[in-house]
Amino acid sequence: MTKITFIGAGSTVFAKNILGDAMLTPSLHDAHIALYDIDEARLNESLSMLHTINKNSNDTRATIEAYDNRKEALRDADFVINAIQVGGYKPSTVIDFEIPKKYGLKQTIGDTTGIGGIFRGLRTLPVMLEFAREMEEVCPDAWLLNYTNPMSILTLGVLKATKIKTVGLCHSVQVCVPELFQHLGIEDDYHLDDFQWNIAGINHMAWLLDITKNGEDFYPEIKRLAAEKANPHPDSVRFELMKHFGYYVTESSEHNAEYHPYFIKEKYPELIDRFQIPIDEYLRRCAEQIKGWEHQRDEIVNNGELTHERSREYASYIMDAMTTGKPTVIAGNVLNTGLITNLPQDSCVEVPCLVDKNGIQPTVVGDLPTQLAALNRTNINVHQLTVEAALTLDKEKIYQAALLDPHTNSELSIYDIKAMVDELIEAHGDYLPTYH
């Protein structure tokens, strides 16, 4: 019997997808599913929802249990899913947006890099390291499947500071080409099965390196169609990056607007409209999700007829491949051990990986085009320094991470950046350890 532990199981919708997928996977039908969350009410809602899916879609073959002791939830686990959010929408996410805004620094999502990503990483990594060290004690051979952002920072931190086998998972690679075809308006004109493509880079800034249709390069047609699209449109930022750097990037335009110094500019406010950049987008999403949860709870938690269909999320396919030996291929966030040869070794990269009973085996990509590696490095700088800050508790490393962030340093002076960091540290209070 496979044991799957879900940390952050109060994320009910995500738990439905990941654990519902597991219950619909033959090799995992009879899994022991252990749920843990610090929010008892949300934990119990997820437990109730999963019992319903287990009954309606899995003939009640899985064993599902909620735990109030994290170490016991982890004990003897084969797989651990991480989906925590330290500090939540309030106070922490609001702080990450509102204090930078006082200094003139605007954000869209703020969860991956930039000042919001830095502080989300600083308050999340200590919690992940706590339970990773518990894993070393009670399930040292388990795989940690990390779904929490900032993906690169957290995955890198766990890989550097613990012995736990860890991979970071994100669906941006899976949806990259389908979204591209949708934004080009050609999703109904082609069958994706006729195409082959390669993607590599870093999380949320991986690159569609090549795409062919029946062996013929399809990039010229993509670029021709993209050039015909008038701004603004929902993918304006990614198309602009492709225009100037030659390649399409995996993550959405609202994310990429804040990963670069070109788009959110106090000096050029017209760019916001030109590229349809949704400032404060994550705050709106959080507020809408909270407002809509009461209705969604009835649809998910209180629905005795609830069933599930297997999603495209990687977790169940990974667990199945490791359990049965039937291989699968994923895009995984892993330590760069010569995989992308012109990115730093001490960094987290997103590359194709083979998964089977031997675990997750990343493939060697080689050099990225020079300009793409250069863009990746601007974000890797932030990842590395944020991890160093969290592991050493050296405040100077936080300053340096913020000073090297391409969006932050294109808008603010050294002195304002350091003052903003100090204010953020104070505002986050006990959600951060003491830095010196």
Instruction: Give the contacts of 50 (CB within 8 A, at least 6 positions apart).
Output: 15, 16, 19, 20, 23, 33, 35, 64
Closest CA to 164 of 37, 79, 83, 67: 79
Encode 38-73: b = buried (16+ Cβ within 10 Å), e = exposed.
eeeebbbbbbbbbebbbeebbeeebebebbeebeeb
Residue 383 tokens, joined: 């990842």
Q: What is the pLDDT of residues 366-418, one digit of tens each?
A: 999 999 999 999 999 999 999 999 999 999 999 999 999 999 999 999 999 99
- Using the structure block, give the residue that is written with the tokens 């099965």: 193
pLDDT at 52 over 90: yes
d(Cα 121, Cα 115) in Å, to the nearest integer?
10
Q: Is the dihedral of CA 34, 39, 40, 44 positive or negative?
A: negative
In the chain, where are the structural domains located?
Answer: 3-168+298-315
Instruction: Give the contacts of 95 (CB within 8 A, at least 6 positions apart).
Output: 87, 119, 424, 427, 428
Identify the H or E element spanning 216.
strand 216-217
pLDDT at 149 over 90: yes
Q: What is the pLDDT of residues 79-125, one digit of tens each?
A: 999 999 999 999 999 999 999 999 999 999 999 999 999 999 999 99
DSSP for residue 434: P
d(Cα 104, Cα 4) in Å, to the nearest integer?
44
pLDDT at 274 over 90: yes
DSSP for residue 90: I
| % of the chain beyond a pLDDT of 70 | 100
pLDDT at 372: 99
d(Cα 88, Cα 102) in Å, to the nearest integer?
21
Q: Is 254 helix (H, G, I), strand (E, B) or coil?
A: helix
> What is the overall mean pLDDT for the chain?
97
Provide the residue type at 398 as one letter.
I
Q: What is the pLDDT of residues 200-238, one digit of tens each?
A: 999 999 999 999 999 999 999 999 999 999 999 999 999
d(Cα 53, Cα 305) in Å, to the nearest integer?
8
Is CATH 3.90.1820.10 what the domain over 3-168+298-315 is classified as, yes or no?
yes
pLDDT at 364 over 90: yes
DSSP 352-411: EEEEETTEEEEPP-BPPPHHHHHHHHHHHHHHHHHHHHHHH--HHHHHHHHHH-HHHHHH
DSSP for residue 192: G
pLDDT at 122: 98
Angle at which helix 236-245 crosses helix 370-392, to 10 degrees, equals 120
Q: Between the CA of residue 291 and those of 62, 95, 140, 295, 424, what are the distances in Å?
A: 32, 20, 40, 9, 27
Find out whether 78 and 143 touch, Cβ atoms under 8 Å.
yes
pLDDT at 66 over 90: yes
Work out the average pLDDT over 281-303.
Answer: 94
Find out whether 410 and 261 touch, Cβ atoms under 8 Å.
yes
- Reported in sequence order, the residue ranges of 299-345 that DSSP labels E, i.e. its strands, are 328-335
Instruction: Give the contacts of 258 (CB within 8 A, at least 6 positions apart).
Output: 107, 108, 109, 110, 113, 114, 264, 407
Find out whether 197 and 208 touch, Cβ atoms under 8 Å.
yes
pLDDT at 294 over 90: no
Q: Tell me the whole-structure pTM to 2 decimals.
A: 0.98
Q: What is the pLDDT of residues 19-49, one digit of tens each?
A: 999 999 999 999 999 999 999 999 999 999 9
Burial of 220 (0-12, 13-18, 19+ CB in 10 A): exposed
Angle at which helix 114-138 crosses helix 151-161, to 10 degrees, equals 40
For the question of residue 171 being annotated catalytic, the response is yes
Instruction: Give the contacts of 331 (CB within 8 A, at least 6 positions apart).
Output: 170, 173, 174, 199, 206, 314, 350, 351, 352, 353
pLDDT at 184 over 90: yes
Work out the average pLDDT over 287-292.
Answer: 94
pLDDT at 217: 98
Instruction: Give the contacts of 267 (CB within 8 A, at least 6 positions apart).
Output: none
Active-site entry in 29, 32, 51, 171 = 171
